Amino acid sequence: MADDGMLMNFSIADSVIKPEAKFKGGTWRDRLVAKKRSSHRGSENGPKDAAARNAASKNPNQIQLGDRPAKRQRTDDSSQRPQRSGDRRPHQHPREKDPRHFVSSLFTSNPEAQNAEEPKQEGEVEEAKPTNAPLIDGLDTFTNLGLSPNLAAHLLTKLELKAPTAIQKSSISQLLKEESDAFIQAETGSGKTLAYLLPLVQRIMDLSKATKEHNDNQVHRDSGLFAIILAPTRELCKQISVVLENILRCANWLVCGTVIGGEKKKSEKARLRKGLNILVATPGRLVDHLDNTEALDVSNVRWLVLDEGDRLMDMGFEEELQGIVGKLDARQRPSRVPGVPTRRTTVLCSATLKMNVQKLGEISLKDAVHIKADPSDDEEKEEKDDDEAFRVPAQLKQSYAIVPAKLRLVSLTAYLKRTFMRKGSVMKAIVFMSCADVVDFHFELFSRNQDREQQRKLEREQREKDGKPEEEEKPEEKEELSPHGTIAPARAFSTPTNPVILHRLHGSLPQNVRTATLGSFSRSTEACVMICTDVASRGLDLPNVDLVVEYDPAFSSDDHTHRIGRTARVGRDGRALIFLQPGCEENYVQVLKRGYRDGGKALTRTDANEIIKRGFGGNESGKKNWEEKTTDWQMDVERWALDNPEYLEMARRAFQSHVRAYSTHIAAERSMFNIKELHLGHLAKSFALRDRPGKINVPGLRPGQEDSKKDFKAARNGAGNKRKAAAADDAAPGALPTDDAARRMRAKMREHMAGANEFNLA
Ligand SMILES: Nc1ncnc2c1ncn2[C@@H]1O[C@H](COP(=O)(O)OP(=O)(O)OP(=O)(O)O)[C@@H](O)[C@H]1O
């Protein structure tokens, strides 16, 4: 399989962790391999090798091999501890003697940050005013912008929306008065959904007026489907549909509905047969109904909205979109309803919309109007902006942490411990991780019940002492707060006074579980954390999210903008922290800075030691210092993985998938996320692993993925997307990402991680 090749290709750590000259213990196979490797390395002492070592020395993620003695095979707990901690080591785990395992110290041999912190001048950073809040100057009201008094009153009284936001102001007036196509681009959390929905609903409400003037009956659900709104995920479609239903309460003769998959097609067909005026859909499902549902009459469709338009124009959706636009064109007929425009208007909307899309199927978007929150931006600036990163809400406080690979797990734990130390300081936090396997592993780790583990251990030891035969261990009973196993107490960072609830979300979960988990996180009034993949990065409007942590940086800076945009919405405060490793990843700071109007003066920096000290240092007086406490915690987690084969496999799978995922950063940013600079041995430690990276190879699919894979293939073939299928299937083994290879690898990875669900190709 191509994957095996891909994985082998990542097994570069053997070149950065020097093996012992003598390899004792292990199986004969291990000893033979070690011997062969060491003799092979011995013959590499030419000038070429010296040059390679020189080059490697420039990489702070790699450990200088020539300047220090070969690493000993450490099987002793004391090696884990800082030197001064002495020899106070707890019970040694029998597996710690396993020569296939490598126990490295947390606080030694970590690469230093390359760039020094920029000094900040006092008073340089001013408190930024929110840039995505409603305009409360009293000058702009929904009625002034052209909405009917009826609709404006409904917004005020029923939806408690007093004034429009800047993008709503620009968009409503434009879309009410003109028929041209439009690009709506504005910061995350600035109310773009209403920016296109309100003028759309107003225009359709106006059709009713025109119909009445012609002495016909009012427009009703059978009058025709006038608008289609497309969004990339089911969650987003549902969210849009809820907002739409709320607006339509003031015009109850108009009806909206969704076709998004995840439920029986029969019930969707029935809904379409009953008649709808506005339809919210995922592209894949709409294509399906256009092909197979006679009741879906699109001859009257005059508005097509692409929410998260850049994502919809991206790989994975382009063919569906071309198909949809082609069919809408072919089936369009003059409408019997008076006032219906002759041509269809297309609106693209996103926080990261590059307004250079020229064509969408048969539609030319060349003359599309660019709608921005600040129309005073002149053309010159607009052009310049297209090359730059997209703005983030000014009130969003961003920081970055330089964290070496080995310290990643303890740093994340420490950061969350500190965050939830006091009740009420943070209500909800979202932690983004690279892929589903990584999410699942951390969910298990952070929710593990140490008291119960301790009890099981004592029982085991007692049995050993009494000479009783070893009982077959029953799988650990999990104390979960949801029937689906996606919600559990976050024991790793809860305190007795502030219990935290942990959620997990990714595209490999069945749709009903995704919906239930998201709903629970959204409604929760307790402190809670959701660890998730990018499935939650776009468009989702989750209340009271105070903090976003990007434990794994996003695969593109656009995705980063969307992720951090889950906080600091409509004028509220928010914080975001991104983990970067010393070395090439530090260059990502420049990308973070580009999101600010002032060049990122407010961006703050922290490092692993500072985070760990605050999280593991604690206030309680004790003999141990923060390094010892952290080391104990890490050792405990490593033993937990060793003791439980199920979790060990999860950890290995997570590590493996993470490395695969790392290679799929977009081409333009790959120099900052260079897989060759990744220290796999150190990285393995942050997955609680003691294995040598070259030995980590979990075959097969993640549990429960088989069905998703089948679904994906069916969906892919169903959509007639042969080219993509071919691209995914022949992902070149071993080839480190070129542009094309990375695209293929991303497709492959989505397949691996049931990305079909993530991006709703079904
Ligand atoms: N005029 C307004 N006054 C107060 N709140 C508003 C207003 N308009 C929208 N909101 C609220 O702002 C929140 C964010 O809106 P929305 O999801 O449309 O933002 P967005 O710009 O689409 O964000 P993203 O780019 O992340 O998708 C919603 O909870 C919405 O109810």
Atom of ligand 1 nearest to the CA of 351: 25
In terms of Cβ atoms closer than 10 Å to its own Cβ (0-12, 13-18, 19+), residue 453 is: middle
Q: What are 581-607's pLDDT values in tens digits?
A: 999 999 999 999 988 877 777 899 999
**Predicted local confidence at residue 100, as pLDDT:** 59
**Predicted local confidence at residue 184, as pLDDT:** 95
**Predicted local confidence at residue 711, as pLDDT:** 39
Q: Reduced to 3 DSSP states, what percent helix, strand and coil does the chain have, rounded to the nearest 5?
A: 45, 10, 45
Please choose, from the candidates 427, 409, 661, 442, the residue with its C-alpha nearest in 3D space to the C-alpha of residue 534.
Answer: 661
- What phi and psi values does residue 388 have, to the nearest 5 degrees? -90, 170
- DSSP-derived letter for residue 571 is T
**Predicted local confidence at residue 76, as pLDDT:** 38
**Predicted local confidence at residue 352, as pLDDT:** 93
Ligand 1 touching residue 563 (CB < 6 A): no
Full-model pTM: 0.79
The DSSP-derived string for 200-259 is HHHHHHHHHHHHHHTTPPPP-TTS---EEEE-SSHHHHHHHHHHHHHHHTT-TT--EEEE
Q: What are 162-198's pLDDT values in tens digits?
A: 999 999 999 999 999 888 999 999 999 999 999 999 9
Between the CA of 594 and the centroid of ligand 1 the distance, in Å, is: 23
Mutate to test the pocket of ligand 1, among 156, 161, 312, 548 (most ligand atoms within 8 A of CB): 161
**Predicted local confidence at residue 617, as pLDDT:** 83
What is the residue with the minimal CA distance to atom 11 of ligand 1?
191
**Predicted local confidence at residue 115, as pLDDT:** 85
- DSSP-derived letter for residue 370 is E
What residue ranges of the chain have pLDDT lower than 70? 1-103, 120-125, 210-217, 315, 375-389, 470-481, 618-623, 700-762
In the chain, DSSP finds a helix count (H) and a strand count (E) of: 26, 17
Interface confidence, given as ipTM, is: 0.99
In terms of Cβ atoms closer than 10 Å to its own Cβ (0-12, 13-18, 19+), residue 41 is: middle
Ligand 1 touching residue 165 (CB < 6 A): yes
What is the residue with the minimal CA distance to atom 25 of ligand 1?
188
Between the CA of 539 and the centroid of ligand 1 the distance, in Å, is: 9
